[in-house]
Each structure stands twice: as structure tokens, then as C-alpha cells.
Amino acid sequence: MAVMVKVGVLVLIPTVLLVAAQEQTKYFEIGGKLVLRPEFSGPINSITWKHKGNLVAEWIKDKVALEYLGDLKGRSELDLTTGTLTVSNMLKAHDGLFTVEINEKVLPGSFNAVGVKNLNQTKVEVIIRPLTCSSEASNCTMDCGNDFGDAEPVQYFWKNGEAGKWESGNKRKVIINDEKTLSFKSFTCKAKNPFSEKESDPLENPFFSKSGGSNNNVVVGVVVPIVLIAVVAVAAWLIYQKFIKRASFCPGSADRNGGPVQPVEDGKPAETTEMMGKD
């Protein structure tokens, strides 16, 4: 029984490896062309291409004229001599498995199509972490951009200083605050996928800045205008209050009837000349 299990495992492993090896990943640029070339030699009498199990193109010599079907109709072109399928204006929604049948036999080689976005439409920048990284930090990390999403798969390259050479690396780079790192004025990264590549702007060496330089600049830029606005508002309010008080107690100010406002003595208004005349 134990021997049978071992034999079964030995047979299963090569089978799995064979299936994995027969499936090719084919990257295509979103908006571009996908070209699929089946590994076949000899005369072709019939051919059928499928995408995610749905018919894309079908032809049988002397029986069925070449016909395009499904959501790739109007985008596809089939070479009846080589069996090559070309699909134009590919979308990300067109990801998925393509299979081909030639002369009524499904070929073992299938194609897993994966759409990739051009990096020209993606922001590439060096992001320092933490944002408070400064000369007082012992080490910091740098990321080459955020999530690249549909632009994957991406390879990363780093350059130390302006005259440095590009070196292959990971998305994240750790820098140590030592003499070697301090000899570089800046750091630059580059992202590259199967169809494009893009460089970031150089980032100044964060170990050149004082403690909390990045965040302090942000705080100063926000707090100072708020303080200035508050000071101006308080000053305006004080001036306004002073003006109101002067207007209220000014002897030359007019009362509601248009006459002069009389000064108040002992809590009672002084009698006007006109009122004294009437008495």
C-alpha cells in the first residue's frame, strides 16, 4: 500500500509540472495588440480559438468559412497558414485563458493573457518613510511609488546620487545614516514593466535635513497663516469696539430726534436750554 502511494505521488508531480509548463503567460499592453502563436507545424485544415471557453474564431477548410465571434469580434485577425491569432485594442477586461484547437486536436499549449498599463500614465516618486526622517534618525526606508495596480508586473531600479549607476532592487530600499549614505546628495528610483519604464524625480537625502524638517515645514505653513488671521481679527474687533464707545459718548453726536446728545450728570440728563425756556 505504501509503495502504491509513493508511485502515485511520483506520477502526479511530473504531471502537474507538465501542465504548468504548457501554460504561457502573455502580457499585452492595454490598448495595444495581443499576438498568440501556437506551436504547430504542418498543414492546417481546421482551427478554433477560444477565450475563457468562448469561441473567438473558427475555420474548417472547404466546409466552414472563417468566422469571428464573441466580444473579440471586430478586433481579431487569424492567419490560416500559421494559426496565429492577433487581437487589437485589447482591454483589461480581456484578461484570461486562450486555447487553440488545430485539425480537431486541442493543442497542449495555452495562453494566459494579462493586460498591463503603460507607466507613462502612472506617478513614479520616491516616498520617504517615516515622513519625519531626518539627520537624527539611524535609518529610514524609501518606497518607489505606491501601488502600481494594472501597471504590474514592475521591476525596480535605484540610483544613489546624480552620477550613480542604476542598480536592480526591490520596491523598498533601506538607507542607513552613515558616512557612505551621507556622500550621496539624492536618491532616484525607476519602475519598469514589459512595455514601458519611468523615472522619479531625485529626492534629496533626508539625512541632510534637521529633525522633523518635513513635518515642521507643513506645520509652520498651516499654523502661521491661522495665527495671523486670528491676530488681524482680534485687532479689528478691538478697533471696532473703541470706535463704538467714542461714538456713544461724543458730546457732538446727534440723538434720535436729531438734537445734540446732552452729557449725563448724576445719572440724569441735563436740561436743555429749550426746556428751561418753557418753564
pLDDT at position 48 is 98
| pLDDT tier at 128, thresholds 50, 70, 90 | very high
269's enclosing H/E stretch is strand 268-269
Band of residue 246 on the pLDDT scale cut at 50, 70, 90: low
At 96, which amino acid appears? G
With a cut of 90, say whether residue 249 has pLDDT above it.
Answer: no
3-state DSSP of 214-237: HHHHHHHHHHHHHHHHHHHHHHHH
* pLDDT > 70: percent of the chain: 73
The pLDDT score that the predictor gives to residue 227 is 65
Give the sign of the dihedral formed by CA 127, CA 170, CA 160, CA 201: negative
| Mean predicted lDDT score pLDDT of the chain | 81
Of the two residues 38 and 277, the one the predictor is more confident about is 38
Query: No. of H helices and E strands in the chain?
Result: 4, 20
Whether pLDDT at 110 is above 70 = yes
Sign of the alpha-carbon torsion through 182, 184, 187, 192: negative
Residue 7 pLDDT greater than 90, yes or no: no
Show the DSSP H helices in the chain as ranges: 2-22, 179-182, 213-249, 273-278
Residues listed for the chain = 279
Summarised one tens digit per residue, pLDDT across range 55-88 is 999 999 999 999 999 999 999 999 999 999 999 9
Residue found by looking up cell 502504491 in the block:
4
What pTM value is reported for the model?
0.64
Extract the runs of DSSP E, i.e. beta strands, from 107-245.
110-116, 126-129, 139-144, 155-160, 167-169, 172-176, 186-193, 196-199, 203-204
Interatomic CA distance for residues 58 and 49, integer angstroms: 7
pLDDT at 9 over 50: no
If one counts every other C-beta atom within 10 angstroms of the C-beta of residue 262, the result is 12
Q: How confident is the model at residue 230 (pLDDT cuts 50, 70, 90)?
A: confident
Higher pLDDT, 31 or 279: 31
Q: Which residue has the cell 504547430?
A: 40
The answer on pLDDT for 30 being more than 70 is: yes
| Three cell numbers, residue 274 | 429749550
Q: What are phi and psi of 143, to 5 degrees?
A: -110, 140
Q: Is the pLDDT of residue 16 over 50?
A: no
